[in-house]
Structure 1
């Protein structure tokens, strides 16, 4: 998986002429996968990893039931006081694992979507994918309990949302203006359906799912963590293979096809993988808004590297969600809120900035 992709210039040398080596290191995985590495991306990635570890340590240690930092290494290794072990195994640990995994999944989904659509507004949030996944998950959990698994319901809802948006725009996922209008409509219908299911069809369970509808990391278990991390484990090999073609796809379909990237097939595979990752995230944490929109763009600005920046987007997504969850647990202003409400408030401001910027550039 590339930390930042810098495309090598296409050589025009005749056969037998020595070709200069590329001006950047290349990570080779077998004969068919070569991932260019960007030095600034490596430094940024290391810094993000340090910040993520700090946020994770704060999540485990702050609060009345937190594990003191001095005892954290012992507790992580299975030793320590019973109360600290209980807090790690039943309370803080699963919540942290779900937050990190969900943030990674949303960051990757957003990076793939924005890259193959070549559209900074082409996020799973904006086109109603998250809302569709939430509607599918609510329907499976409340109307078909024990028949359809919640992750499968979320996947079906997300896929349906993408299909509807792509069909009603008339231009697929490329036109920003039509994408936003169609996405708002699909998201509104999905949210209305979700609230209908929760409030009318299953009133006795409405209170339990109220936080889920807004996106919450409260009362998460290791089963939830296993769901999202299993999806990530299955997605990583595909991401490694897709990283190069997705980067070439940003240069345009004709050039990508000429370089053997098969733009149409790459776009389809990336969208499908984005849908699966978003559905996995929504199935365990609910529709958490705007992480998939902001994480890839923050990663690209930090690295100053072209390409999808998949690894950095994953780290930024994890850091954003772990930090937001830390805020709703301990910050006085946000304490007690579902984490999705906080990300919605911050992401809404950022979306407004993007809309103004795209409008000024004449893209809307």
Structure 2
């Protein structure tokens, strides 16, 4: 009697491949397609947190419009937003709080995008428009434009020119571009001081009659904005948001290193240049309507990364985080008795300065400074 034959199952495809220890297969991210040529990977966690941030912005916006002695009652608020009311409600919505709220959301979003792009390009959490003097340069550009060509050169153009000049000076002064955190911080402080000196000279000697107004603007204030400012920041966002989203996939590769990114088709140098240009336009647009609001561009991308746990620029989450930081800060300076009348930049500067100190200590512990 012959020995029984052992029947074996056919091996599964890939069963004989060696498995790397500790390797876990992750499910592919869902894609959001825009037309036939653009497909953006979406993290579920990032999407959930973006919705949470959006809900927080809407809740803070309702509080901004309804709180205080001049607030619009909640029962009247939906009708006031849908119609064109008159009287006190129309005055509050059209003159006092409506433009201020829109500018706060728009400028915060623009600063968040600017910081996210610059930090991704430099692979450095300290690489933000605040630290390298872009905000101060944009403010100096605004002041010089209003002095030399009042009514001829638009304010946003002056802001972009000043920010671009500050960025170029920092790039040259470091001797190594944006790759060294310590040199970046030192050069940025120097450029910001130079831009501040130019601004203070103009304020103190040439534009004395407008000195108080300019001082409030250069601190970062949205107390006297109008719908014209809201339209300006809206146009800026229409440019920088699609541009940032288009750059995001390549920036994710750039974070892996130049050689690997180039081998994967990211075209590192054009990507960096494009991201820096978009970052400058976003920061300059925010400065042109709200002044150099301190440290929103530094903190918003870092908070967004910690919330979403994702790599890359995080354009949407950084924009929403920046908008939330701005509307909350503006609500505080409007309603808190101890902050009554303060420019919003004073509050964001106090919080952001403490956060900058934490980042500097963290970078020093890691041996990067």
Determine if the TM-score, normalized by the shorter chain, exceeds 0.5. yes
Q: Distance in 2 between matches of 1:99 and 1:302?
A: 22
State which structure, 1 or 2, has the greater radius of gyration over its C-alpha atoms.
Answer: 2
8 Å contact 1:217–1:285 — kept in the other structure? Answer: yes
Task: Quote the offset at 1:122 in angstroms.
Answer: 0.5
Counterpart secondary structure, 1:177: helix
Among 267, 276, 288, the alignment partner of 2:272 is 267
Distance 1:118 1:234 in 2: 24
Partner SS state of residue 124, structure 1: coil
Task: Please name the residue that 1:233 is paired with.
Answer: 238
| TM-score, length of structure 2 as denominator length | 0.91
Residue 21 of structure 2 is matched in structure 1 by none
Q: Is 1:63 aligned to residue 68 of structure 2?
A: yes
- How many pairs align? 345
* CA–CA separation in structure 1 for the residues paired with 2:84 and 2:240: 34
Correspondence for 1:8: none
Query: What TM-score, normalized by structure 1, do the two folds share?
Result: 0.93
Contact 2:245 2:315 in 1 (8 A): no
Q: Is the 8 A contact 1:142 1:198 kept in 2?
A: no
Distance in 2 of aligned mates of 1:28 and 1:255: 26
Task: Name the residue aligned to 2:215.
Answer: 210
Q: Secondary structure at the match of 1:333?
A: helix
Q: Which residue of 2 aligns with 1:316?
A: 321
What CA distance in whole angstroms lies between the structure 2 residues aligned with 1:74 and 1:30?
Answer: 37
CA distance in 2, matches of 1:291, 1:344: 8
CA contact (8 A) 1:300 1:309 kept: yes
Deviation string for 1:81-122 (max 9, x for gaps)?
Answer: 521012101111000010000000000000000011101100
How far apart, in 1, do the equivalents of 2:340 and 2:187 lie?
34
Render the CA deviation track for 1:22-60: whole Å, top value 9, x for unaligned: 621011223332211000111101110110001101111
Residues 1:294 and 2:314 are matched in the alignment: no
Match in the other structure for 1:336: 341
Task: Give the corresponding residue for 1:4.
Answer: none
Q: Which consecutive segments of 4 or more residues in structure 1 shift more than 4 A?
A: none
The answer to whether structure 1 residue 94 and structure 2 residue 99 are counterparts is: yes
Contact 2:133 2:166 in 1 (8 A): yes
Aligned to 1:50: 55
Structure 1 residue 157: deviation in Å? 0.3
* Counterparts of 1:323 and 1:276, CA distance in 2: 24
SS across alignment from 2:338: coil
Cα distance in 2, alignment partners of residues 21 and 309 from structure 1: 20
TM-superposed deviation, 1:151: 0.7
Which position in structure 1 is the counterpart of 2:40? 35
Query: 2:364 and 2:324 mapped to 1: Cα distance?
Result: 30
> Does 2:255 align with 1:250?
yes
The answer for the alignment partner of 2:136 in structure 1 is: 131
Measured against aligned partners, the alpha-carbon deviations of 1:171-228 in whole angstroms (never above 9, x if no partner) come to 1011100000000000011111111111111111112212101000111100001111
Mapped contact 2:241–2:315 kept (Cα < 8 A): no
CA–CA separation in structure 2 for the residues paired with 1:82 and 1:219: 20
State how far apart, in whole Å, the 1-side matches of 2:318 and 2:146 are.
30
Q: Unmatched 5+ residue regions in structure 1? A: 1-19
**Could you tell me how far 1:241 is from its partner in structure 2?**
1.5
Using the alignment, how far apart are the partners of 2:96 and 2:341 within structure 1? Answer: 15
- Cα offsets for 1:248-270 (capped at 9, x unmatched): 11111111111111011100000
Is 2:205 aligned against 1:175? no
Judge conservation of contact 1:151–1:283 (CA < 8 Å) in 2: yes
> 1: distance between equivalents of 2:321 and 2:193?
28
**Residue by residue, what CA displacement relative to the aligned partner does 1:248-300 show, whole Å, maximum 9, x if unpaired?**
11111111111111011100000000000100000000000100000000000
Distance in 1 between the 2:183 and 2:241 partners? 32
Equivalent pair of 1:56/1:322 in contact (CA under 8 Å): yes
Equivalents in 2 of 1:270, 1:62: separation in Å?
A: 39
